[in-house]
Amino acid sequence: MIKIGRLNLGNAPRVAAVITDDKNGQSLKNAIKQGADLLELRIDFFKGIEPENLSKTVRKIKQSRLPLIATVRSKTEGGKKSLTDRQRKEIFQHIIPIVDAVDIELSSKNIIKDIVGSAKKQNKKVIVSYHNFKETPSDGKLNKIIKDSKKAGADIIKLAAMARNMQDILRLANLTLKHKNLITLSMGSMAKISRVIFPIFGSLITYGEVGVSTASGQMPLNILKKELELYK
């Protein structure tokens, strides 16, 4: 069974809270209160990304003892800040020693090798991610992305794709059932249900809001927890 920090993945849906460095640590407080299983640090949403500032923030978050995933989403895949590859790489290198996993885009060709290498060397888990805000690619293309992500060193592969119709949601559900070690989610107006059903079909992690919304179709974490409880 795969783990992030001390958290086992795969035997039950796990709910990650999406966290920023907001004032008074409100999103962190909400995450703890609402029972998040782990935290995704969306560093591209952080106000303070200078090394000293960042360390201080993450050390504070670490006191929650929840496993941490560090994400510095690239602008092209939905990131908030425009950061150069060099900036992103520096942030990752700085943060890897103090988190449990990194999430890096398959499309971050210039830096993925170094980031994956550093993470592996330090025994941190690697999530290789793919985001498509326009459509859900064909099954053939999705399978190719999975294969390429494994080749790039992924322990876990995350696929997030816009659903243009209900068939798109079914296709991604089917893929989730067929493969191991996937995180899947559909985006868009019809996609809210995917946050609950994909974990039931085997998606390792589902992401809930605790203050900042980072993707369409995302639900408040406390509601997401209740829904998973209802259908378990």
Catalytic residues, by residue number, are 131, 158
Beta strands in the chain (DSSP E): 3-4, 7-8, 14-19, 38-42, 68-71, 101-105, 125-132, 156-162, 182-187, 205-209, 219-220
Distance CA 79, CA 57 (A): 19
Q: Which of 55, 192, 215, 222 contacts its own copies by CB under 8 A? A: 192
- On whether the CB atoms of residues 147 and 177 are closer than 8 A, the answer is no
Stretch that binds its own copies, among 7-15, 36-44, 62-70, 188-196 (CB under 8 A): 188-196
Identify which of residues 112 and 205 has a Cβ nearer to its own copies in the complex. Answer: 205
Would you count residue 223 as binding its own copies (CB under 8 A)? yes
Would you count residue 164 as binding its own copies (CB under 8 A)? no
Would you count residue 231 as binding its own copies (CB under 8 A)? yes
Stretch that binds its own copies, among 13-21, 41-49, 86-94, 163-171 (CB under 8 A): 163-171
Least distance from its own copies to the Cβ atom of residue 144, Å: 22
With CA atoms as reference, report the closest residue to 97 among 63, 72, 70: 70
Identify which of residues 32 and 193 has a Cβ nearer to its own copies in the complex. Answer: 193
Strand ordering across the sheet containing 14-19: 182-187, 156-162, 125-132, 101-105, 68-71, 38-42, 14-19, 205-209, 219-220
Site for its own copies, rule CB under 8 A: 166-167, 170, 173-174, 177, 190, 192-193, 196-197, 200-202, 223, 227, 230-231
